[in-house]
Structure 1
């Protein structure tokens, strides 16, 4: 009987340790958010999914000229593979610049670090989600941070149809 009680206690202890380790592993896998920044000034944008901002109230070393990648999307690349991708990239850049420069209130929500240690955030301009605007204009596809899987180098009509299809799949 003593041996059974000892084994039961040992088994319970092992289970408890395993449960703590699994819980810690799950918690570690969640992306840490550094919160929300509401006192944000737009400086410039490199392309359609990367902006530079000043975070007012922060030390200049940590708050001035901070590049931020807009979460959840991928836009055509400025140095793209074909003329069409480059043109779409310039269009996306213009749209983002117009939205951000006219915004009276810019908010960075769910601020975190990405896989390359870049700052990633849900960007809002006057309470409108910038990523959603670009997706609706077919200048961005949904992107979860994994492998980029969209080819911008096909006919514009084909790109529009594929953007819609791609975004529906990843929604």
Structure 2
């Protein structure tokens, strides 16, 4: 398996996917009046930790928007799976589906096979979170190889508030070569 690992400050790739309402959206393109976007990659309907995390993000959605950051979540689930998952989600932000293996690799995500047919019927991406700034660059990158490690949202919000404050003149970190 070949996988691209982003460098901090890289341009986020153009990936268009359908969302629950049938429209197509481009990941990394802010909406709802925001100029930044948070792209949250989740494992899929089969993952209760993902359901909890996506619902926790919804509780904090207004705080992200106050910082000028819109939210979109995405998985490799099918339309049927994501539609069924919506019954468990409180999310009012866009939920995209149909992420392909090639797109997972393009995003540098870890990819897993299901443990059984009862878990799910397709390979899926492990969690990832990308903050894309107004220039389309990766400001923050968090990629995990399992469902147990994800950014804690209060800390993430505090950090993003610091980054977004123009008085701090905070650069993209991790760019040393």
TM-score normalised over the length of structure 1: 0.28
State the structure with more CA Rg.
1
Q: Greater helix share, 1 or 2?
A: 1
Higher relative contact order (Cα pairs below 8 Å, separated by 6+ residues) = 2
TM-score normalised over the length of structure 2: 0.28
